[in-house]
Amino acid sequence: MISTGLSAQIPLDFDECVDLMSVVWRLAGADEYQRCSVTPYTEEVVRHFSPFAEHPAVQLAKKYSNNNVGYDAVAVYGAYLDVDGNGNVVFDDTLIRDFDSRWSESMQFEFFEVLNSFYKESDFKKWFDSTKQVREESIQAFSAISSSIDMDWYGRFFNPDGADFKIILCILAGQNNYGVSLKTKDGKFLLSPVISCASYNDGKISYNANMVLPIVVHEFCHAYCNSLIDANWNEISDIAGELYKLNRKTLVRQAYSSPVIMMYETFVRSCVIRYMIDHFGEEVNVGALIKDEEDRGFPLTGTMVKGLTGYEREKERYPRMESFMPELVNDINCFDVSGYKKAMREAKRNRVHYTCNIRNGSKNIPAGEFTVEIKFDKPMIGKVSLSMTEKEFPRFKDYSWSDDMRTLSIIFLFEAKHSYGFFINGDGFRSKDGYASISKKINFSTR
């Protein structure tokens, strides 16, 4: 049944096996598991596990990672595992294993053998127990956010039959979060998103509630939305494929590698907007939220939010989301693709250009406090959108805009003899007349 009463009852904890998988993929060099900002945790990983960097489990993880086994596939594998009373890693016998195509059955068991060996030989249990204080601090910091989530909404909005919920925290997932849904052998549906996004400032772990709350709502939605997209995929695959081609560069940069994943994300993001409307009413700038998602490569967001708004108005006619899907599928297939292409061409012609005082590949940049200046050819609205590259993101201090809104000054703190990088998200830098900037990766090193 759907959890009722206080949302604080949602189980919130770390999962030893999810952390185990994260450590192995970090040792394997997977970029998505290198971006943890909680320094004490990463220092303990390096100290304890560096001697095992060439272990067969790590070598196999490198092979798998190069074949697209990463991100959520790593966390999901960990969620299906348990540690028995004899200290062996085992598949959790209460769960029905249902891996996606990235984990073939032979891979599942091939990796299982070497992972169990890594767990024992690296004395993983000892390390995990030694980091208990960091994990307790994370749980304490996150508990205020988890207790504010309206879990009953999922039953009202999607499916009155409901599900059970838990939240898995995983600091080593860096800035990534994954929607994980499991089914138990006794027929229960368990939604257990893996959430990271921890910050570390002045020796304390924290979570930005305004940023993290929508993320948690988002990840819980995946368990419902993905299966509904799968069930209706044949009816929407053509238009989804066409829209994916038009936005492929933007989506791949965010690790969304196929049309079906684009549709999972579009559906989920549209449902999150409905959650925000239902809970915060007039405080929500719906148009801005929709535009933000469309700029990220999800052009059907506005169409789906409009459809879902109609669905909520007719709940007596459509008691379950499944019964409404034919209507939503029709809305999707009526999307004006030709008009969208025309708008994309116009936006490309009017792209905002800029210069930056650090170029990609620069060397001998001075260490210490350094001001990065980005000068635009149009007045901007003042939003800042930088993200990570494969290099370390520099320590940020402050930023400001010039009076004419054409120059952004960002103060970073650089260490000597260090490699850094940041990505300028063009869609996140918009001019006052509504046009996006070009996107650019800037990797550099200090003297």
The pLDDT assigned to 164 comes to 85
- pTM score, whole prediction: 0.73
Of 385, 391, 402, which is closest to residue 436 (Cα–Cα)?
A: 385
**Beta bridge pairs of residue 445:** 419
For 297-418, list the strands marked E by DSSP.
354-356, 362-365, 368-376, 386-387, 395-401, 407-414
Whether pLDDT at 113 is above 50: yes
- Which amino acid is present at 1? M
The mean per-residue pLDDT over the stretch 49-70 comes to 96
Check if the beta carbon of residue 118 is closer than 8 Å to that of residue 52. Answer: yes
The pLDDT assigned to 191 comes to 86
Name the DSSP class of 83: E
Whether pLDDT at 428 is above 70: yes
Least confident of 32-46, 49-63, 68-82, 404-418: 32-46
Q: Determine the Cα–Cα distance for residues 356 and 376; give it in Å rounded to an integer.
A: 9
Whether pLDDT at 38 is above 70: yes
Q: Determine the Cα–Cα distance for residues 192 and 219; give it in Å rounded to an integer.
A: 9
The pLDDT assigned to 4 comes to 31
For 287-383, list the strands marked E by DSSP.
354-356, 362-365, 368-376
The mean per-residue pLDDT over the stretch 101-108 comes to 94
Residue 382, both tokens:
């003042």
The mean per-residue pLDDT over the stretch 362-386 comes to 95
Whether pLDDT at 2 is above 70: no
CA-to-CA dists, residue 19 to 79, 117, 125, 157, 179, angstroms: 10, 16, 11, 32, 16
The pLDDT assigned to 81 comes to 97
> Tens digits of per-residue pLDDT, 131-175?
999 999 999 999 988 888 898 899 899 977 767 889 999 999 987
Mean pLDDT over the full length of the chain:
92
Confidence of residue 446 (pLDDT cuts 50, 70, 90): very high
The pLDDT assigned to 411 comes to 96
Q: Determine the Cα–Cα distance for residues 221 and 120; give it in Å rounded to an integer.
A: 36
Q: Determine the Cα–Cα distance for residues 272 and 301; give it in Å rounded to an integer.
A: 11
Confidence of residue 10 (pLDDT cuts 50, 70, 90): confident
User: Which alpha helices (DSSP H) does 147-254 contain, by range?
Assistant: 152-157, 209-231, 233-253
> Tens digits of per-residue pLDDT, 266-316?
999 999 999 999 999 888 899 989 988 998 899 999 999 999 999 999 988
Count the alpha carbons within 13 Å of 80 in the hemisphere toward its beta carbon: 20
Backbone angles phi, psi at 169, to 5 degrees: -90, 140
The pLDDT assigned to 417 comes to 93
- The H or E element containing residue 201 is strand 199-201
The pLDDT assigned to 354 comes to 97
> Tens digits of per-residue pLDDT, 315-360?
889 989 999 999 999 999 999 999 999 999 998 899 999 999 999 9
Chain mean position to CA 213: 13
Q: Determine the Cα–Cα distance for residues 172 and 23; give it in Å rounded to an integer.
A: 7
Reduce the DSSP state of residue 363 to 3 states and report it: strand
Residue 432, both tokens:
């006052």
Whether pLDDT at 55 is above 60: yes
Q: Determine the Cα–Cα distance for residues 313 and 18; give it in Å rounded to an integer.
A: 40
Q: Determine the Cα–Cα distance for residues 237 and 42; give it in Å rounded to an integer.
A: 42
Which distant-in-sequence residues (6+ apart) come within 8 Å of 282 by Cβ?
none
Percentage of the chain lying above the pLDDT 90 cut? 70
The mean per-residue pLDDT over the stretch 240-264 comes to 94
Q: Determine the Cα–Cα distance for residues 387 and 176; give it in Å rounded to an integer.
A: 12
Whether pLDDT at 1 is above 50: no
Rounded to a whole number, what is the largest CA-CA distance in the chain?
67
Q: Determine the Cα–Cα distance for residues 279 and 122; give it in Å rounded to an integer.
A: 47
